[in-house]
A and B are shown apart, each in its own frame.
Chain A
Amino acid sequence: MSVLLLRLAGPLQSWGASSRFARRGTEVAPTKSGVIGLLAAAKGLRRTEPLTELLGLEFGVRLDQPGQLLRDFQTARSLDGRQSAPLTYRFYLSDAAFLAAVSGERELLHGLAQALARPRFPLYLGRRSCPPAGPISLGVHDDTLDDALTHWPWLAAKWHRRKLASTVRLEIIRDVRPGEPVTETVPDEPISFDPAHRQHTWRTVLRRHVDMTNDLAERAGVNGHDPLSLLGG
C-alpha cells in the first residue's frame, strides 16, 4: 500500500462538512471531501465529471498546528448599495498546519502527486479565498497510512513549537476500517461535486493520538512549580 502525503498550511483554511445557509462553519481539521476536491482540481476534473477512482482512497489527517478560529461577518451589498445579501458568518482556521495522507494504488498516487506539482485548476484549502503556503505534495511513500501519519516529522512552525511543552500530543483523524469500533460519523464522504446535484454520504472516523518530542520547547517549567518541595513537601 502506498501513501501520498500532503502539507496543508496557509494563512487561512476553511473546511466545512455540515454547514447550511448563512452560517458557514469550519471543522477543526481538513475534511475528506475538501481534500478529494483539491486532488480532483489538480487533475483537472470538472465538477460535473465522475470522481471514479478518487472515491476509493483512504484518508487521514494529523493536526500538527491547530491554528485559531477566525470569524468573518459579511455584510455584502449589491453594487448600487440598494440590496443587501443575507448577513453571513464564515469561519476560518488561521495559521494552521496539517499533515494529510491519502492511501491507495501506487500509480494513482504518483499521478496525483504529479498533478499537484502542475495543477490544472487553482488549488485552495477548503475555500477559494484560502491559497496554500508552499507546495502541497510531500511525495508518495511506500508505507501504511497509520505509519506515515505517526512517523512523518512534525510540520508545526518554530514559533508555535517554542510555546509548547517538551512532549506534545497530536491528534490523528482517519477513516475507520472494517471491523474497528465506530466512534463518530460526519457527512463528509464525497460522491459527486456536481453543482446541480452535490452529494455526500456519511463517513465514519476514528480519532487517535501520537506523541511528539518537542526539542524547541523552552525549558522553563510553567507547570508544576512547587516551592514547598524544597522544604519537605
Chain B
Amino acid sequence: MFLTRFQINPARRNARKLLSSPHAMHAAVRAAFAAADDYARAGTRTLWRLDTPTTATVHLYLVSPGRPDLTHLVEQVGWPTSDEAWVTRDYDGLLTSLRPGQQWAFRLTANPTHSGRKTADAKETQRFGYLREHEQMAWLVGRADRHGFAVASQQDGRPNLRLHRRQTQTFKRGMGTVTLTVATYDGILQVTEADAFRRALTGGIGHAKAYGCGLLTLAPAPGSP
C-alpha cells in the first residue's frame, strides 16, 4: 500500500472543476493507475480525501494498493515546474507496526448515513445522511468497534472527537445529481484490534468511498512518545 500527498494549485482553471465535483475527482484519481490491479485489489481499494490545512492550500491524499502516477494532475491542476510534484510513501511499514493499545491522532472524512423508509408505507428503503452533530458523532463512535479502534475520551467523559467541515455536497453525475452529507472527524483513537483496524485504513469506513469519503489517516497523538 502507498500513501500519497498531492498539492492542488487552486488558481488553475481545472482545479475548480475537480474541487467542486467529487465525480470529476474520482475520475482523475482512477486515471492515476495504469493497471486496474493498482487501483483495487481484493480487500483493498484506492481511497482519497481533500484537506485544506490553511486557506488556499489544498492537499489531495491517496491511499492505494499500487504506486500512483499523478503526472496528469500536475499538468492540469498542479505546479508542473516544481521539483516535488507529489510525495508517495510506502504505507506497509506503518500498517504492520499497528498493535492494540496504540493511540493515534486521526482524521476521517466520511459520509455518515443510515437507511430507512421515507414513509411508513414506502416500498423501497433508501439511504439518509445524518445531519445533526451528535448523530454524526454517534455514527462514528458506534461503528468504531467493528473497525478495530475506540475513540478516546476527554477529561469530561465525552469522546475526544471534533467535527468540522460538515456540509451537504451536491454535484452532477451524468444527467443526475448526487447529494452527499459529508463530515470531517478529528480526534484521538486507540487501536483495539490490529487486523480490523488495518482493513479500515486500507478499505475505508462508511459509504461514498469513490467520492472522497472513508479515508482514515493517522498522525502522532499529542503527548504520546
**Residues in A lying within 8 Å of B, measured CB to CB:** 218-233
Collect the chain B residues with CB atoms within 8 Å of residue A226's CB: 219
- Using A225-B107, A227-B217, A232-B89 as known contacts, say yes or no to A218 and B154 having CB atoms under 8 A apart: yes
User: Across the interface, which residues of A come within 8 angstroms of B107, CB to CB?
Assistant: 225, 227
* A228-B3, A229-B219 known, 4 other contacts, Cβ within 8 Å: A218-B160, A219-B154, A230-B94, A230-B218
Number of A-B residue pairs, CB cutoff 8 Å, is: 56
B90 to chain A, nearest CB (A): 7
What DSSP secondary structure best describes chain A's contact surface? loop
12 contacts between A and B (CB under 8 A): A219-B188, A220-B105, A220-B160, A220-B161, A220-B162, A225-B219, A227-B5, A228-B3, A228-B87, A230-B94, A230-B218, A231-B90
A228 CB contacts on chain B under 8 angstroms: 3, 5, 87, 89
User: CB within 8 A of A230: which of B53, B61, B219?
Assistant: B219
Do A231 and B162 touch (CB < 8 A)?
A: no
Contact, CB under 8 Å: A227 / B218:
yes
Complex interface: chain B residues within 8 A of A227 (CB): 3, 5, 61, 107, 217-219
Interface string of B45-69 (1 = CB under 8 A from A): 0000001010000000100000000
A226-B5 Cα distance, complex, nearest whole Å: 10
Interface size class of B (residues with CB under 8 A): 20 to 34
- Whether B10 sits at the interface, judged by CB under 8 Å, is no
Please give, as numbers and ranges, the residues of chain B lying within 8 Å of A232 by CB-CB distance: 89
A-contacting residues, B112-155, CB 8 Å: 154
A223, B184: Cα distance in complex, Å: 12
The distance from the CB of A219 to the nearest CB of chain B, in whole angstroms, is: 6
- The 6 closest A-B CB pairs, nearest first, are A227-B217, A231-B89, A220-B162, A220-B186, A220-B187, A225-B107
Residue of B nearest to A222 (CB): B186
Chain B contacts with A in 179-222, Cβ cutoff 8 A: 186-188, 217-220, 222
Interface pair A220/B188, CB less than 8 Å apart? yes
Q: Could you say which of B90, B93, B94, B160 contacts A219, with CB atoms under 8 Å apart?
A: B160
Separation of A230 and B91 alpha carbons in the complex (Å): 9
Interface of chain B, main secondary structure: strand
Residues in A whose Cβ lies below 8 Å from that of B219: 221, 225-227, 229-230
Measured between alpha carbons, how far is A3 from B84 in the docked complex, in Å?
Answer: 58
List chain B residues, Cβ under 8 A from A219: 154, 160, 188, 222
Cβ-defined contact, B217 with A218, below 8 A: no
Please tell me if B164 contacts chain A, counting CB pairs below 8 Å: yes
Whole-angstrom distance between the alpha carbons of A166 and B188 in the complex? 16
Contact (A221, B3) CB under 8 Å given A229-B219, A230-B220: no
A221: chain B residues at CB < 8 Å are 105, 186, 219, 222
Q: How far is the CB of A229 from chain B (nearest CB, A)?
A: 6
Which of A218, A220, A223, A224: most chain B CB closer than 10 A? A220
User: Are A225 and B222 closer than 8 Å at their CB atoms?
Assistant: no
> Does the CB pair B164–A222 fall under 8 Å?
yes
Task: Tell me the smallest distance from the CB of A12 to a CB of chain B, in Å.
Answer: 26
How far does the alpha carbon of A225 sit from the alpha carbon of B107 in the complex, in Å?
Answer: 7
